[in-house]
Structure 1
């Protein structure tokens, strides 16, 4: 199973709800890169997309695409391709550097958010720039949280990214969210606050067991 697949995709729908939908373009890859489209304020916002045949069909049940959003400096993915196909810009947080020049599409700086989603700065350092979107109900976290195996220690339904476990972003405690959408794996819609707070409180304590689990998986033992 490759970490990151390419070529012909096999789109799998995840995280479907009244105002949005998610998909994983390559369900057999280890990274389980998840993308989302959420309808807000009369427009559809496409978040960190990995393109695949059938993606545009998913959009048809919602409002017209208003823009594509990049929430992580490493998540340029297929944002430009999707934006150009729908003749919309790519929105990037105005403080995020090193993204705009790599996008072959019109780019708009995002200051307050998109639709009814506010954008918050979660991590901002020379190695990692990450923003989240929150509308009072749905929280979209592209990288700091994930539900795939290599994020989650024993007993966790959602986990802190392995590289952030020593210093987890405690700001994630502040969101009173009912739905969590993540950039790697399927989201959560039950006991979300409890699961996120549990992931934060156990991040350091479960760090070494998670690293050992991932090492054994990499070695096939």
Structure 2
């Protein structure tokens, strides 16, 4: 009864690539603490605009580290609360078994019509994909085949529905328990793009909310970290 009285709720803006891991973490968080996390998924760029416009989010789990840092500088985040909760990994993926080889040579053979990426102006995973293509010397040749999603979630949908034969997605979208769930993939070597550091931030609206503070602590704990790793993120 005491736990029920003390339980609180926190509104969390969650980067699209982290949607499945966060659903599992939120369920475990509620079981372990009694607090409830209400999750909203979307692009970090759109969340930034919404928070600037007064959206009542209390915690941001971003797809990058620049946006939380900017919000902190602008006084919309609580100073000193920001930390990296995960480092994302990029994956070239197709739902077709055997299409993508484990070295990514399919990008050079050109046995596809469409390559999906997230909008590099909005999504860190899209910016990383462009960096990879530039580094491989393939950007100019493949630009006519690129199909852009507004977020990494939409990019995944392009590939999952077959509208694009392959695309650059987040490892977390097609890995579970450390294994590829379907299709074929190339795990892009980390040295081919800048690290995709994903930062958490306590927003001013969440200051003093026990559920918000507890959630940020929980994300640093062993149980959450094990879940995050199981979806292919690095810590």
For the criterion TM > 0.5, the same-fold answer is: no
Higher helix share: 2
TM-score under structure 1 normalisation? 0.28
Larger radius of gyration: 2
By relative contact order (CA 8 Å, sep 6+), the higher-ranking structure is 2
TM-score under structure 2 normalisation? 0.27
Higher strand share: 1
